[in-house]
Every structure is written in C-alpha cells, then in structure tokens.
Structure 1
Amino acid sequence: MYKKISNIAEREFIENELGIKYKFPRLYTPSSVIDGTQEATLSIITMDNPDHILYAIWGLLPDNYEGEWSDFQKALDTLNVPKENLNSKGIFKEPYYKRRCLIIVTGFFIYHLHNGTLYPYYVYLDDKKPFYIAGIYNILDDGFITCSMLMTKTSGVVNKIQNLSSTMPIFVPNNLSDVWLNSKTDMDEIDYILNLPNKLKLRAHPIAKEFFKNDISYESMLEPVYYEGIPLV
C-alpha cells in the first residue's frame, strides 16, 4: 500500500507548470511528507471542476457516507485502488466512470526490506517538477471531496527497488490529462491510459529513516543516504 506521498512545490510553481489555478490558493501548503493514515488533504483536479485545483481528503468514502473517515478506513482502506478493482462491485465502479481526477504530487515513497530492516526510498521526476497520479473521487453531502489513487503493476526503477509490494501509482501524462477528465471520453480510451507503460523519467534513492516519523525535510530527501547491501539506481 502507498500511504505517503510528497507535494513540496510552491503554489505558484504548480500553477505555472500545469497551467491551472487553485480555487482557494491561500489554503495550499507544501508538504514534504503527506501521510494518508492521518486524514490528509491532497491537491486534485476533478471532472466536475477541471478549470481549478481543489482539495480532497485522501481515502475514498461513499458519497452518502455519514460516519467518521477513520472508521471507514478501518473497514476498507481506500487510499489506493488496484485498476483491476475498478469494474468490480463496490464503491469504485461509479467514480471510475463518472468521477475521475488527477492527483498532483512531486514524489512518493517506496520501501526495500533487507536483512530484517526496512529502508525508505524517495521517488521523483528527474526535473523535480509536479506530475499527475490517476485517481477517482466522491463528493459528500457536506461538499467535502474524498479520493483514491489508482494502482498498477510495478515497472522501471520502482520494480528494481520495491520488494514488499508489486504495485505502483498510475501516472497520467500531461498531454492526456484533458482526456482523462473528459466525461465524453470513451472508456476504451480511459482503459488505454490506465495501461500505458510509464514514460516518466523517475529517479529514486534511499533516504534517512527520520522519514518514518514524518520528520524529514525536502532538502534532506533529495540527498541520498547510502546503506550497505541495498540497491542504488
């Protein structure tokens, strides 16, 4: 499961790079580690409002749900959804067809287990720019948005390092973002995007274990930490 991501870019940089403005710009705060287990907020672009960047709680809830976010996550962890589950019965199918979103990040975290010790890695674009992860969302009766990241099989640099899971986020190229968010797009085209091989130029390196306490700065995340016996790419 992917439970921590990063979005450290300044608001103006995100808006300039992606060509879209935040609807509520003063609410945005860069964060080195966004912890999904703590009812975290993500920056997203939705099918309902593709002209603005909005905020969503990470962890999809049914649109008619009235209980606590944490209670639902104990019953069903919805931070991530494997693409194979999108057409199955349950709460994911309708959002997949009607409420797709783009989740804005500058990086995410993976893990390598070696000799009984867990080592965190930071994965990010070679040019350190923000990029899109495919997502789905619901809008609750009170107006809050909740969302999930979509997952596929590991490939590339993630596959070389990660040995606790065989999944990774699905990335949406900038040139296909409008297609992903368009309600008129044929689902065969959406399925094509879901199954595109990753062409992002990703980098990854081990980082300090202060990460496990959410106590690590972005500057230190960009500095590799070398441990004996673990992969370096």
Structure 2
Amino acid sequence: MCYSKALRKNREQIEQNLLGKLDANFEIPLEYLPYYHLNGFSHGNMYIIKMDEPEKIYPSSWGLIPKWATHNPEAFRKKSNTLNATAENIFERNSFKESAEDKRCLILSDGFFEPHHQNGVSIPHFCYQPSKEYPEGDLFLFAGLYNELDDDLYSATIITVAANTFFAEVHNKRKRMPLVLSDDLLEDWLDDGMNQSQLNELMAYGFTNKEFNAHAVTRDLYKKGIDTNSPRFVEPVDTGTLF
C-alpha cells in the first residue's frame, strides 16, 4: 500500500535531477507546488511522466479513473479505491488492464508514508532514499498507470508489489511496497514495445537497488481536520522502533 507521499523539491531541483535519465520538464511550471504530505484520499495532484510524452511532466489526480467511468468520476471513487494497483493482477482488473497495456507512467516522489504496527498501534513511518546531495531524500520514480479524464487532465495510480526484506519490517502487517523503479528501467516501463510477459518480469525484479531509510513520524498524521502539509510531518520521532 502507498496512500500518502511527499514531493518536497522545487521545480528546478526536479528537472535537474532528471537530466540524463529522461530529461523531462514541467509542462505547466507555474502550477507546480511542492508538498510534505499528500493524502491519496484527497485525490490531489501527483506529477507524472507519460508513455507518449516522456519529455513532459503533467499533474494528475491520485486515484485512476478508467475510461468507462470518466463520465462520473466521483461515483466511481465512492465505490472503488484505485490509489494503488496490485502488480500481480493489473492485466486482469477492469480498472487497470487498458492502462497497463498502453498508458503506463512514472510518478515523481521523494518520500512516502507506510504504517508500522507495534503492540497493536499503527505508527506512521516516512520512507526516503538518502543521497549525498539530498540526505533528507532524493528524487525517485514510482511505476504507475494513468488515464485521461479530459484534455491535459489525468488520473493515476501507483503500482505495488510484495515487500522486500526492508519494507516487510516497515510495513509489517500487509507487507507491500510501492514499485520504485531502478533508473535503468525507467525507459523500459514507458516503452510501448514491451509485452505483458516482459512487463510482469520488470515489475517482479525492477525495484531499485538504492537503499531506503525509514523513521517514525508523529501520529498526528492520522488526525482529521489538520493541515499535514508541513515539515514536522516528515521529522523523526522517538517510538523505540529502528530501521
């Protein structure tokens, strides 16, 4: 599961980071706003790179609306949770199979939140990929699916896979993790020549080998009616858990 995420970098940092990988730039640069915490159930904007325009970054509401539901997205969302797509069945589920074939995307992020259960209590943990330049978390890209809602208006979902050893300790109840792609597989995920067998293999083995860190954050993240888009929601708190 991945129901909340961060993208704290400014536009220039993101475009610089993508140089040599995809060389993508924001199509609507003045619209972009960084965030510390985006709750997927708010259906706010993620930022995606699409198969057919790998040189551009577009905003996309979180929660894929399939083609057959675009006439009434709100009714679809009341019945279906498509914030995540389980890798093992994206070619079988009606909500995802068309996008899995020809509407794959990359989703920008520099952190995400997962629940760790300790003594019956859910403790949110912030997961990030430290680097020399960005010890607080470098940019990475989720594998995702998207669909058009209207002209230049999109919806998207994050693909999840079975957790590796590290994330099985973090997300110790459901043992899932979002698919963060290895840099050398980014273009493959967007390649319209990939068949179903090749894509299944990529999802099974394509998780990045760059190390992640995770630390507990305040349980205020779970409270309703407060603004969670602030630095304190990614800052570590002492709960006695170690990752």
The question of a shared fold, defined as TM-score above 0.5 by the shorter chain, is answered with yes
Residues 95 and 212 (structure 1), Cα distance of their counterparts in 2 relative to 1, 3 Å cut: same
Does 2:176 align with 1:176? Answer: no
- 1:143 to partner: Cα distance: 4.1
Q: Which whole-Å deviations, capped at 9, do the CAs of 1:127-151 have from their partners, x for residues lacking one? A: 2111010001111245421111111
Corresponding residue of 2:209 = 199
**In structure 2, C-alpha distance between the alignment counterparts of 1:185 and 1:67, rounded to whole Å:** 30
Partner residue of 2:236 out of 221, 224, 233: 224
Correspondence 1:29-40 to 2 at 5 A: 29-40=33-44
Q: 1:190: Cα distance to partner? A: 2.2
> CA contact under 8 A between 2:85 and 2:159: conserved in structure 1?
yes
CA distance in 2 between counterparts of 1:63 and 1:7 reads 28
CA contact (8 A) 1:39 1:70 kept: no
Q: Percent identity?
A: 28
Measure how far apart 1:182 and its partner are. Answer: 1.4
Given that 2:114 and 2:125 are in contact with CA atoms closer than 8 Å, whether structure 1 keeps it comes out as yes
Q: Equivalents in 2 of 1:58, 1:137: separation in Å?
A: 9
**2:100 corresponds to 1:100:** no
**Partner Cα distance (1:22, 1:178) in 2:** 18
> What is the DSSP-based 3-state SS (H/G/I as helix, E as strand, rest coil) of the residue aligned with 1:56?
strand
Query: Could you say if the C-alpha distance between residues 198 and 66 of structure 1 is closer, same or farther in structure 2, counting changes exceeding 3 Å?
Result: closer
| 1:154 aligned residue | 163
User: Is structure 2 residue 47 aligned with structure 1 residue 43?
Assistant: yes
Look up the match of 1:2: 2
Q: Tell me how far 1:221 sits from its aligned partner.
A: 4.6
2:117 alignment counterpart: 113
Does 2:28 match 1:24?
yes
1:132 aligns with 2:141: yes
- Higher mean alpha-carbon deviation, 181-190 vs 150-159, is at 181-190
Count of residue correspondences: 231
The answer as to 2:73 corresponding to 1:69 is yes
- Deviation larger for 214-223 or 65-74: 214-223
| SS of match in other structure, 1:51 | strand
Cα distance, 1:158 vs structure 2: 1.5
2:174 to 147, 165, 169: 165
Q: Distance in 2 between matches of 1:27 and 1:124?
A: 25
Q: Provide structure 1 residue ranges, at least 5 long, that are not aligned to the other structure.
A: none
Q: 1:34 to 1:94 in 2, by over 3 A?
A: same
Q: 1:210 maps to what in 2?
A: 220
Residue of structure 2 equivalent to 1:53: 57
Residue type of the partner of 1:165? R
Classify 1:141/1:65 alpha carbon distance in 2 versus 1 (closer, same or farther; 3 Å): farther
- With structure 2 as the length reference, what TM-score do the two structures score? 0.88
The farther-off stretch of 98-107 and 83-92 is: 83-92
Instruction: List per-residue Cα deviations over 1:102-153 (Å, max 9, x = no partner).
Output: 0000011011222332211000002211101000111124542111111100
Specify every segment of 5 or more residues in structure 2 that has no aligned partner in the other structure, as ranges. 132-136
Quickly say closer, same or farther: Cα 1:66–1:100, change in 2 above 3 A: closer
Q: 1: CA distance between counterparts of 2:229 and 2:172?
A: 25
After TM superposition, the structure 1 stretch with the greater mean CA deviation from structure 2, 182-191 or 23-32, is: 182-191
**Which segment is superposed worse, 156-165 or 129-138?**
156-165
SS of the counterpart of 2:69? Answer: coil
State the secondary structure of the residue aligned to 2:193: coil
| Matched residue type, 1:206 | A
